[in-house]
Structure 1
Amino acid sequence: MQSVNQQEIPVVDLKGQYGFCECLQTTQDIHAALSSIGFIYFVNHGIPIEKVTSPFVTSQKFFDLPFEVKKKYIREPNKYAGYVAPSQEILESTNSEEVREAFDFVSEKSDKFPVEVPDFKETAVNLYLECYDFARRLLRSLAVALGQDADFFVNNHKLMGTNENRSIFRTLYYPPLRKDQIKPGTMRCGEHTDYGTFTLLFQDNIGGLEVLTKNKQWVEAKPIPGALLVNVGDLLQIWTDNEYPATKHRVRIPQEELKLKTIRQSMVYFVHPDNDFEIRPLNGNRSNYSEPTTSRKWTQMKLDASYKY
């Protein structure tokens, strides 16, 4: 692991190891990184670069379509696939607008993909399948790091890709803006923590993601070409009794005129436990989380607070 201080996000080189979950040193590096800031970059992670870049191209074709076309695919209440329009999701309650768009799906079986962009589904699903595989390997590594049986987390995430699990693949699009369009209380993505176990994120080279460190300083999660960024979600923080923090993060409106006029994109896989599995601290401590919760209950509470339909 590269040297790290409190102002930096650790970088772990997997050296192309498919079975990194079986490497004790790598597991220890992952544990140290997630304990320090809740974010980690993986380089040489084994996901082919062409599978990462292709959905950036095809999803932009979708987001470039007129709104009248995109709204045919709008994500409906209690559904986990479809188009999310600007400000349909407000992650920071004090914001009046959050200027981003998204398209979500649960698995390769989704029938919500737009017919107007026929290659969108193939490229997005190809990356989703790679992320699904990587997530299962990371789940094994985390189980070992936390002193559990290697399959502990895999066994309570076994329904990923079905409607009995809230894991979602999301393509994110931040449109270009003009300064005269920006109202007070507008952000690209409000301050928040993610809801589930952990999140896999591929950024473009535009940047803008900021992470809140333990000493309450916002630092930029600068894009590393080809790297996979992973962050802890709320439910893993509960599982680890706060040892792995679900760190707040945001995407602000850029001040630089060039970045303001440039689109920003990312690909995200939100990994959640199976809907009805009870989440409680692995160490048995009841002082921080007296009542167990489930992925279904926790995620629905968060969605109810952030979505407008």
Structure 2
Amino acid sequence: MEIPVVDFSAYELEKTNASVDHLERLSVELRKAFTEVGFVYLKNTGINQKEVDRVMGVSEKFFCLPENMKKPFSRGGFSSNGNHGWISVEMESLNPRRPGDLKEAFNTASLSSDISWPSEGVDDFRDVHISFYLRCKELSLRVLRVMALGLNLEAEVFLSAHKHIGSDMNGTTLRTLYYPPVNSARVKENQLRCGEHSDYGSITLVFQNPKGGLQVLNRAGEFISAPSIPGTVLINIADLMQRWTSDVYVSAVHRVLLPPAGDSSTRQSLAFFVQPDDEAVISCCDGSDKYPPVKSVDYLLSRFKDSYK
């Protein structure tokens, strides 16, 4: 089964309200996508390609800087937020059974005013990332509302656990990713650009450039391609949402393959990882005990422990 494309224009960011009928239609379409595949492409969300290109452009300038200019902004070097900052190539293994991933990343995990940001050679880095973070936040809240309706729940059920996005009481992160050219002669056995994994929180918003490689594991146990579709955002379910909904919404495993031999192109993507508030306790919303309750921040930290050496 291919990943469906859903028109979100009835509830796009520029619109203050959506009719009950439009929300009902959207909730049915999203439920179908998230129960059958775990991923969906949304078009007409209100986030346009120009915004995406701007973030990717300033991010690429940062990733192309010498390592000594990036190192001061390394993840783990900020006392107020341990997940904020730059991750170098092979530092992270999203599938711990594989060698380190062949990618770099920069996590915007804190909007705190006392966080230092790259500036030399990358004008507007901070402002561009924070602006896009806030746009993704607003779209995410709309999607979460529609998802609740798809389960015949109160519209605010999921939103009530996402009140602190953008503060240090919530782990939601905008991650810009850069996949440098691959030297086939130096690739380790079983190494990928990004190993197989599921995401950790509620949902993830993904924006890609045209260079492919992203694959999604469908319900039949087959990896299918998830190419870039201009003008869309790819959204997937993450682990805590699967627990929350007692496996109604499915957290799909995905990966990024190496490019074909001889292909020296780079790849870029943006991922907005939506996490419930740190102190939110996620338990099955149907009242079952299919999964034991877990605190959002505890689950997030346990997954970080697996991914970093």
Q: TM (normalized to structure 2)?
A: 0.92
* Cα offsets for 1:190-245 (capped at 9, x unmatched): 00000000000101000110000111111010110121000000000001101111
1:113 equivalent in alignment to 2:117: yes
Structure 1 CA distance, aligned partners of 2:288 and 2:11? 35
Report if aligned partners of 1:21, 1:138 keep a CA contact under 8 Å in 2: no
Matched residue, 2:201: 196
Matched residue, 1:14: 8
Q: Unaligned stretches of 5+ in structure 1?
A: 1-5
Secondary structure at the aligned position of 1:132 is classed as helix
Matched residue, 1:303: 304
Structure 2 CA distance, aligned partners of 1:16 and 1:67? 45
Q: Deviation of residue 13 (structure 1)?
A: 1.0
Structure 2 CA distance, aligned partners of 1:45 and 1:153? 20
Matched residue, 1:254: 259
* Cα offsets for 1:14-72 (capped at 9, x unmatched): 23633458521111111111111110000111113211110111000000001111111
Matched residue, 2:244: 239
Report if aligned partners of 2:108, 2:129 keep a CA contact under 8 Å in 1: no
Structure 2 CA distance, aligned partners of 1:113 and 1:205? 28
Structure 2 CA distance, aligned partners of 1:268 and 1:246? 15
Q: Deviation of residue 253 (structure 1)?
A: 0.9
1:294 equivalent in alignment to 2:295: yes
Secondary structure at the aligned position of 1:41 is classed as strand
* Cα offsets for 1:71-106 (capped at 9, x unmatched): 111100761211011121111122122110000112
The 5 Å alignment of 1:6-85 reads 6=1, 8-15=2-9, 17-18=11-12, 19=17, 22=20, 23-76=23-76, 79-85=82-88
Q: 1:268 to 1:147 in 2, by over 3 A?
A: same
The 5 Å alignment of 1:161-180 reads 161-180=166-185
Structure 1 CA distance, aligned partners of 2:182 and 2:203? 30
Structure 2 CA distance, aligned partners of 1:169 and 1:16? 25
Secondary structure at the aligned position of 1:143 is classed as helix
More off after superposition, 77-86 vs 104-113: 104-113
1:282 alignment partner, one of 280, 285, 289 = 285
1:96 alignment partner, one of 99, 111, 122 = 99
Matched residue, 2:231: 226
Secondary structure at the aligned position of 1:195 is classed as coil
Question: Structure 2: which amino acid aligns with 1:81?
Answer: H
* Cα offsets for 1:127-183 (capped at 9, x unmatched): 111101101111111111122211111111001111111111110000011211212
Aligned-residue Cα RMSD (Å) equals 1.5
Q: Unaligned stretches of 5+ in structure 2?
A: none
| Residue correspondences, number | 298
Matched residue, 2:276: 273
Report if aligned partners of 2:48, 2:231 keep a CA contact under 8 Å in 1: no
Structure 2 CA distance, aligned partners of 1:247 and 1:47? 24
More off after superposition, 291-300 vs 180-189: 180-189
Structure 2 CA distance, aligned partners of 1:230 and 1:256? 29
Question: Structure 2: which amino acid aligns with 1:12?
Answer: V
Q: TM (normalized to structure 1)?
A: 0.92
Structure 1 CA distance, aligned partners of 2:124 and 2:161? 33
Q: Deviation of residue 126 (structure 1)?
A: 2.0
Q: 1:33 to 1:232 in 2, by over 3 A?
A: same
Matched residue, 1:264: 267
Report if aligned partners of 2:211, 2:267 keep a CA contact under 8 Å in 1: yes
1:151 equivalent in alignment to 2:156: yes
Report if aligned partners of 1:21, 1:137 keep a CA contact under 8 Å in 2: no
1:210 alignment partner, one of 204, 212, 215 = 215
Report if aligned partners of 1:21, 1:140 keep a CA contact under 8 Å in 2: no
Structure 2 CA distance, aligned partners of 1:278 and 1:17? 29
Q: 1:29 to 1:37 in 2, by over 3 A?
A: same
Q: 1:156 to 1:21 in 2, by over 3 A?
A: farther
Secondary structure at the aligned position of 2:129 is classed as helix
Report if aligned partners of 1:196, 1:235 keep a CA contact under 8 Å in 2: yes
